[in-house]
Structure 1
Amino acid sequence: MFDALKNPLALVGRLLLASLFLPAGIVKLTGFAGTVAYISSAGLPMPALAAAAALIVEIGGGAALIAGAGTRIAALVLALFTLVASFVFHAYWAVPADQQYVTQLLFFKNIAVAGGLLTLAAWGAGAWSIDARIATNSQRR
């Protein structure tokens, strides 16, 4: 049964993961000044460069997941990005007790997302992807 669902599930999984990153990247692009201010408030150096890098990773990585193009690399980059962002922006251990619940929830949600991305990096995009089409065409030559 699961063999028949493997490709549809891989596609849906990629789309669901992309739904976290692509809109976030677009928001960063359309509200760039606010993103820079938020990053600056966290004390990170070169906040404008960090904001630009974040929106490139989120938009580019989200688009790559949707298309299934360069999926393994995109998933690795997004997983690393998500882990770094979790420790910098969702450090629940460093906030007042009344703010810890939501911050901790966001932290562990991001850890789970990174886990899903690492699984995607390990197994690939599935047959319904540009990656699979490229691999098929390469084997025919």
Structure 2
Amino acid sequence: MATANTAPNPAQDTLALVGRILIAYLFIPAGIGKLMGFGGTVGYITSAGLPMPEVAAAIAIIVELGLGIALLLGFKTRWTAIVMAIFTVATALFFHKYWSAPEAMKMMQQINFNKNIAIAGGLLALAAFGPGRFSIDKR
């Protein structure tokens, strides 16, 4: 492993790339789905009681699709990952409220909530340690 005085090794660069690909694999298709089903996305956001659902849907598409692609390519990775982590935690808080879910949905919502928190952790690790050499940022 690299220390403060050494550069990352090829294995670390490869792992950072694989990590970016796997995280982008979650966000990019979700963003495409929201874009293609914009009305349904707005309806779902409305059902959660959030204000300005059209604006919220547009923000979700920008984060998931736009920043998902940026993360995949390793472009402005640290800032991109921070914004995506904040978005992911907010999504957990607004859409996976297991603490107030009906009993039949409680476990699934808690799993989804916990997954979002874990994804945010992975994004913050990318923000902390960067995208690796195989990225636009390092070109």
TM-score bracket for the superposition, by shorter chain length: over 0.9
Task: Pick the structure with more helix per residue.
Answer: 1
Q: Output the CA distance in 2 between the equivalents of 1:131 and 1:25.
A: 23
Q: One-letter code of the match for 2:33? A: V
* Segments ≥4 residues shifted beyond 4 Å: none
Indicate the SS of the match to 2:108.
helix
Q: Who is 2:12 aligned against?
A: 6
Q: Who is 1:60 aligned against?
A: 66
**Gapped regions of structure 2 (runs ≥ 5):** 3-8
Task: Map 1:1-141 to 2 at 5 A.
Answer: 3-133=9-139
Report the RMSD for the aligned CA atoms in angstroms: 1.2
Q: Who is 2:6 aligned against?
A: none
Following superposition, the deviation at residue 4 of structure 1 comes to 3.7
Q: TM-score, normalised by structure 2?
A: 0.93
Amino-acid identity (%): 56
Q: Who is 1:136 aligned against?
A: none
Q: One-letter code of the match for 1:107? A: F
**Gapped regions of structure 1 (runs ≥ 5):** 134-141
Q: One-letter code of the match for 2:21? A: L
Following superposition, the deviation at residue 94 of structure 1 comes to 0.6
